[in-house]
Amino acid sequence: MDYILERKVRERAPAYFGRYFRRVKVVPIEEWSEKLEDALDGGLISEEERKDALNLDALIRVKSEDGRNLLLAVEVSHTLEDKDADRALKRANVIARVYGIETIPVVIGAYVPEGLQDRHPKVLVVQVSDDN
C-alpha cells in the first residue's frame, strides 16, 4: 500500500505540496543519484549516507512564497511513525549538503499519530485522505 501512495505523491506532487509551495517539480531519481555519486567521489558524503539517501521516497524542487529555491526530502508511509520523521530529517541533511540549498524534511501519509508534528518540529507533516 505504501508503494501506491509513493507513486501518487510523485505523480501528483503539485496537488499535495502546492498549498505550501510554488513551482512544485519532482526531481528524477537519476538526477539525485548522480549528485550523490559525485558527492561521494568528492568526499562530501560517506558511502553509508549515499546508500541511505538513495532510499528517499521523493525529492521535490519547490519555491517558497518569498521566492527561495528549496528541496523537499519526502518520506511516504500510509501510517506515519516517528521513525519516518527521523529518516526524513537524516536524509534531508544529506541532500542539503549535496545540493547546497535548504532542504525541508517531509513526511506524508494518511494516518498521522497525535503529537507527531510537535515531536518533530523541523519536519513538515502532511496528511492526505485515505482514498488518495
User: For residue 131, is pLDDT > 80?
Assistant: no
> How do residues 11-43 score in pLDDT, each as one tens digit?
999 999 999 999 999 999 999 999 999 999 999
Give the pLDDT confidence score for residue 14 in this predicted structure.
95
Domain ranges across the chain: 2-127
> Which tens digits make up the pLDDT trace of 62-80?
999 999 999 999 999 999 9
- From residue 116, alpha-carbon distances to 13, 17, 122 in Å are 22, 19, 11
pTM of the predicted structure, to 2 decimals: 0.93
Mean pLDDT computed over every residue of the chain: 94
